[in-house]
Amino acid sequence: MPMLLRMFKRLIFLMMAAILLTSCAVPPAETIQSAKESGRKAFAAKAKTHAPREYREYEYAVARARRFQMEEDVRLIPMFRDYSRVVEAYSLARNRGEEARQAALKRQAELTAEAQSDMLQADQELTEVRDLVTGVPVGRLSGQILSEAEMLVSEAALLIELGEYEKAKAAAANALEKVSTVANRAGFVLDRYMRPELLDKWRRWARETVEWSRQNSSHAFVVDKSRHTCTVYYAGKEKESFRVNLGLNGLNQKYRAGDLATPEGRYYIVRKQDAGQSRFYKSLLLNYPNEEDWQRFNQAKRESFISSASRIGGLIMIHGEGRRNVDWTQGCVALVNRDMDTLFSWAEVDTPVTIVGRDNSSKVEADDVNDVISKTQEKIARKNGAKGQANKEPGTAGKEHRATTGGL
């Protein structure tokens, strides 16, 4: 009986030892899987990008756990294997993975907020500048730039959804830069149109052109860029007024070839080209550049206002193929064909054509333009935090002469 009891106790001891040894001799599959799953979630949350330090700590913890596991796996006698520290190491790796995931999600939320803030700022600035320039013809190029800014704002919104936060911020910054460019252009253009010395010069040019028409009992044309009109005078009296399109660069003065601006000055017609002789239906070629244009061009070069390699250009015309309320030419004045037919019939070689920024000496003075320009200037000044300063316009006035046209 005592022998049986001793054998029974020995059997119980061996069973307990086997259980203990077996529990420590088997790799902790569930804990390992948990650590791997934690890492997959962290990677899916882009922790490698948005929480690199935390993700490296996870990777280090996994590597450490694997090293411990390998040390146990290579033991030849299973009963001598102890995976307790392996369990502990994989548990730590699991925690590090979760920390990396949480850090990545937090950083993504911060980046989303930053990118959305930049995008909303760009969108707000875009809306404000569109409102600022509404009613003031600052040029089709400015409109194109604002359209590009609008596309960049939409692109930023899409990039945020895709998680491309840095690219989204770059797109928003690019949009802001374009909006700022238009605001600055608008401020410069509007400032020109309120400068007393320019207004006095334009009024004088227009009066002298009308007076010439009266004294010679002939036709004379006055193009008003601000109102987009070509007014025909005969014997000093207004005969007709036509809507016109101008250069893409809006109300800016022309300085060089390729600036897409319509020149301001006192010109005359040097050649009439009937239908079939002109690229744009019918055309009236002007004597641009005249002496004053050359003086302004050379002065602008000396002051580095334009490149020293610039050319003055030429081939400025009044021609047909005009469109509805769209500035599109490279510097010419365009009328719809039916109006061009009428103007062409009244025009002669040597007919004066005066192009001004604003013709406020006319009986149809645009008080509404004055009001819009003044209010827009005030808005831009408030937006910039200071009143805009007048920009010095290169070039000085000089005596006209009958210069031949230059090539574009």
For residue 212, the enclosing domain spans: 199-366
Residue 289 near residue 208, CB atoms below 8 Å: no
Sheet bearing 352-356, strands edge to edge: 237-243, 229-234, 219-224, 352-356, 265-278, 281-286, 317-319, 333-334
Q: Which of 137, 117, 35, 38 is nearest to 376 (CA)?
A: 137
Are 103 and 205 in the same domain? no
CA angle 211, 212, 217 (to 5 degrees): 100
List, in order, residues 6 or more apart from 51 with CB less than 8 Å away: 42, 100, 101, 103, 104, 107
Is residue 133 assigned to a domain? no
Are 344 and 220 in the same domain? yes
Are 215 and 356 in the same domain? yes
Please compute, for residue 14, the number of CA atoms within 13 A of its CA located in the half-sphere on the CB side: 6
Predicted local confidence at residue 263, as pLDDT: 94
Which of 107, 136, 153 corresponds to the end of one domain? 107
Are 75 and 208 in the same domain? no
Is residue 236 assigned to a domain? yes
Are 335 and 205 in the same domain? yes
Is residue 380 assigned to a domain? no
Amino acid at 243: R
Alpha-carbon distance of 49 to 237, in angstroms, equals 74
Hey, what are 27's tokens? 């790799």
Predicted local confidence at residue 266, as pLDDT: 95
Are 213 and 358 in the same domain? yes
Is residue 386 assigned to a domain? no
List, in order, residues 6 or more apart from 359 with CB less than 8 Å away: 202, 203, 206, 222, 224, 226, 227, 231, 365
Q: Tell me, what CATH number does 310's domain have?
A: 2.40.440.10
With b meaning 16 or more CB within 10 Å and e meaning fewer, what string describes 344-368?
beebeeebbbbbbbbbbbbeeebee
List, in order, residues 6 or more apart from 19 with CB less than 8 Å away: none
DSSP code at position 231: E
Predicted local confidence at residue 389, as pLDDT: 44
Hey, what are 287's tokens? 């004597």
Is residue 340 assigned to a domain? yes
Alpha-carbon distance of 329 to 250, in angstroms, equals 10
Residue 353 near residue 247, CB atoms below 8 Å: no
Residue 136 near residue 182, CB atoms below 8 Å: no
Predicted local confidence at residue 298, as pLDDT: 92
Predicted local confidence at residue 144, as pLDDT: 80
Predicted local confidence at residue 56, as pLDDT: 94
Is residue 376 assigned to a domain? no
Is residue 129 assigned to a domain? no
**Into how many domains does the chain fold?**
2
Which of 65, 88, 107 corresponds to the end of one domain? 107
Q: What is the DSSP string of 72-116?
A: HHT-SSGGG---HHHHHHHHHHHHHHHHHHHHHHHHHHHHHHHHH
**Burial class of 314 by CB neighbour count within 10 A (0 to 12, 13 to 18, 19+):** buried
Are 99 and 225 in the same domain? no
Low-confidence ranges of the chain (pLDDT < 50): 19-23, 362-369, 372, 386-391, 395-408
Residue 162 three-state SS = coil
Hey, what are 332's tokens? 């010419």
DSSP code at position 122: H
Residue 153 near residue 122, CB atoms below 8 Å: yes
Which of 59, 82, 107 corresponds to the end of one domain? 107
